[in-house]
């Protein structure tokens, strides 16, 4: 399927870019494979809007002229700690405290929405691939970060888009889907991705909290690789 088959010629791709570690490494990966990349960032009312600044800086680092930033207010999806200021982001002492199940930082249908936006943009700009920084190994229980989700969604694009009906639906590429966080950090380092510009903390603010699930997993990855995390923590 599309996630494993990469083209032999340069094609245009839409790469979902939050400004975080994973999406930045995936953008670097897509560029390294010769894709003409259009980054797509969604301003959805996220608590950690600080990541939007990181996304812009990452795009600037690569000198990409076409950066699409979409406004889509998902704050009506109350119950998620990322879109509601009445639900607190859990903070923990270590990675081992991260529990099982779907956490309160899950935003309902977020990847369904984001991939739909990316598919629409693909048809607009003539892109043939979508890159997404989803991860099914060091992740916090999100159902829309699993391989089976992307397999089904790729089929949806084949039957539910004009491009799909015409036989050239965009393929979905999730190159870090089965990587540990340390492997992602290593890949980013090897690709010389601007990891110092990325932002992972769910809390936002001037400095990362170092205690939310995203910070803990990021710190774990850098520690295992033996590379100092360039981001400043509280």
Q: Is residue 4 part of a domain?
A: no
CATH number at residue 187: 3.40.50.620
Q: Is residue 122 part of a domain?
A: yes
pLDDT at 230: 96
Length of the chain: 234
Q: Is residue 5 part of a domain?
A: no
pLDDT digits (tens, 9 = 90+) for 140-150: 567 888 889 99
pTM of the shown model: 0.87
Domain boundaries, position 154: 12-225
139: pLDDT strictly greater than 60: no
Alpha-carbon distance values, 20 to 17, 52, 94 (Å) = 7, 9, 20
State the Cα–Cα distance between residues 26 and 19, nearest whole angstrom. Answer: 11
Q: Is residue 3 part of a domain?
A: no
Query: Of 75-79, 147-151, 173-177, where does mean pLDDT reach its minimum?
Result: 75-79
- The band of 2, judged by pLDDT with boundaries at 50, 70 and 90, is very low
68: pLDDT strictly greater than 50: yes
pLDDT digits (tens, 9 = 90+) for 83-104: 666 666 666 656 655 666 676 6
Q: Is residue 128 part of a domain?
A: yes
Per the structure block, which two tokens stand in for 143? 């159902």
> Which residues fall within 8 angstroms of residue 113, CB to CB, at 6 or more apart?
42, 72, 74
Number of domains in the chain: 1
Q: Is residue 22 part of a domain?
A: yes
Q: Is residue 1 part of a domain?
A: no
Q: Is residue 42 part of a domain?
A: yes
């Amino acid at each position: 399927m599309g996630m494993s088959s990469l083209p032999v010629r340069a094609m245009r791709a839409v790469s979902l870019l939050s400004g975080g570690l994973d999406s930045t490494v995936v953008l670097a990966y897509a560029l390294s494979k010769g894709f003409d990349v259009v980054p797509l960032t969604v301003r959805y009312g996220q608590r950690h809007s600080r990541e939007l600044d990181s996304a812009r800086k990452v795009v600037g680092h690569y000198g990409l002229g076409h950066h699409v930033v979409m406004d889509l207010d998902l704050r009506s999806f109350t119950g998620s700690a990322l879109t509601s200021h009445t639900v607190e982001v859990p903070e923990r002492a270590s990675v081992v405290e991260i529990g099982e199940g779907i956490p309160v930082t899950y935003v309902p249908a977020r990847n369904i929405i984001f991939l739909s936006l990316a598919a629409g943009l693909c048809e607009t700009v003539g892109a043939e691939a979508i890159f997404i920084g989803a991860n099914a190994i060091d992740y916090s229980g999100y159902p829309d970060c699993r391989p089976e989700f992307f397999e089904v969604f790729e089929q949806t694009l084949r039957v539910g888009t004009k491009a799909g009906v015409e036989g050239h639906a965009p393929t979905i590429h999730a190159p870090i889907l089965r990587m540990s966080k340390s492997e992602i950090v290593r890949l980013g380092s090897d690709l010389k991705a601007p990891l110092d510009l990325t932002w992972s903390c769910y809390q936002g603010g001037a400095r990362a909290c170092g205690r939310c699930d995203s910070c803990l997993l990021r710190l774990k990855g850098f520690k295992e690789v033996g590379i100092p995390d360039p981001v400043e923590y509280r």
